Amino acid sequence: MKKIAMLGVGYVGLVSGTGLADFGNEVICVDINAEKIRKLKQDVLPIYEPGLLELVRKNVAQGRLSFTTDLKHSIQNSEVIFLALPTPSGPKGEVDLSYVFNAVNTIARVINGFKVIVTKSTVAVGTGDKIRDHLLAQGVSEEMFDVVSNPEFLREGSAVGDFMRPDRVVIGSRSEKALEIMKEIYRSLYLIETPIVATDIHTAEMIKYASNAFLATKISFINEIANICEKVDADVQVVAKAMGLDGRISNKFLHAGPGFGGSCFPKDTLALTKIAEGVGLHATIVEAVIEVNRLQKLRVVDKLLALLPDLKDKVIGILGLAFKPNTDDVRDAPALTVIEEILARGGRIQAYDPEAMDEMRKHFPDIKYVASSYDVMKEADALIILTEWNEFRGMNIDYIKSLMKNPILIDTRNIFDPETIMEKGFRYDCIGRKIENRARITGEQKR
């Protein structure tokens, strides 16, 4: 097994580094954030991810996983260097590679032997070539390194399982030597017959964007179908179930809701449109996916306004702030848009999420955060469910009604049965399901 330096201990770096250590490699996770490293050494993770803390503790105890801020030592004492660094969207939606190339500059200064340099972050197509050219321009001999693309396909909330039992591993390389080293790193996955897709670097980089854009397309597609279902008195859940029984379609990512968020789909779909523009094309479908998703988040507020037209000084309870369950990530979460729109109309927010309230405070420090799901409902004029945490599914409907000032419920995750809710006396709306006498959304603002 190999000595590995994982540069960047964010979501991808921490999960990947810990997983590679569990495969038997010796992994040093490196970050310039000294406080983050200090906390990691005390078993305090910077992210919430089910099962990750236990895996970190196991591999630290067995001596295969360590954390440091010493970048030079880590690079010089490793055979393989993974770049798991932030690649945020730039001002026009392009991929910002500044963190990646800051690390590449450091590698160029301190490299002391042959290294395989692996992009684990999602990077623009052609980045591998740029890293190679940059190192050569810095005077590093081409015999001292190989560059590999090894994109990640981790789902927040189930990332540990995704890494340990992936659908596939993609390795893009121009060198047979580097490819063999990568196969050795992932040897544990060979034993469970995980498909290994060995290809060139450009293709590997493109696979990541194509995969995420397709999944985002399925989400926006079913949300658009849900909106049509509401107008023609059809039920999107039955539609999606029947669609999913077709093996060519599958039932994955066909769950209507308030739109996608997180660290990947919004950023990667936008980046793909910029990649297309850069070569003189228009990613028309992907552009539509982005626009449908933007409107779907706003549609949640339109549903609220249809049931409660005047939000001034009204208390709106928000259940769920993370973009999906089992994570504390609020990046591009529907809750960001919904809260902003409600506040702009003079509404007051009280919110609860099992894991994401600290993250949301960074965006909205002045709204009211409460200690439990039922606290959200107290004296609320309306309640909006934005994340389908399991603990929300079993809530007592009668008790919810007794706590609220007005029994208005917008169920954007379709976790309740409409007939049951409405029989309890709620004014109710959801996403794409049949509701008798649905309050039609009229006079929607042109977005």
Active site residue 264: yes
3 state DSSP class of 147: strand
Neighbours of 145 (CB within 10 A): 22
C-alpha 130 chain-centroid distance: 26
Q: Which residues contact 245 (CB under 8 A, 6 or more apart)?
A: 251
Q: Return the axis-axis angle of helices 201-232 and 284-307, rounded to nearest 10°.
A: 40
How far is CA 261 from each of CA 90, 134, 332, 437, rounded to the nearest angstrom? 17, 33, 5, 31
Q: Give the DSSP H or E segment for 80.
A: strand 80-83
Selection from 173, 172, 175, 152 nearest residue 164 by Cα: 152
Selection from 311, 322, 316, 264 nearest residue 122 by Cα: 264
In 275-426, at which residue ranges do the beta strands (DSSP E only) sit? 315-319, 348-352, 368-369, 382-385, 408-411
Selection from 335, 304, 324 nearest residue 388 by Cα: 324
How far is CA 115 from each of CA 124, 133, 142, 280, 312, rounded to the nearest angstrom? 22, 15, 10, 36, 60
User: What are the tokens at 70?
Assistant: 């010493």
Category of 297 on φ-ψ map: left (φ > 0), alpha (ψ -120 to 50) or beta: alpha
Selection from 318, 379, 383 nearest residue 353 by Cα: 318
Selection from 141, 140, 149 nearest residue 171 by Cα: 149
Type of residue found at 369: Y
Which residues carry out catalysis? 264
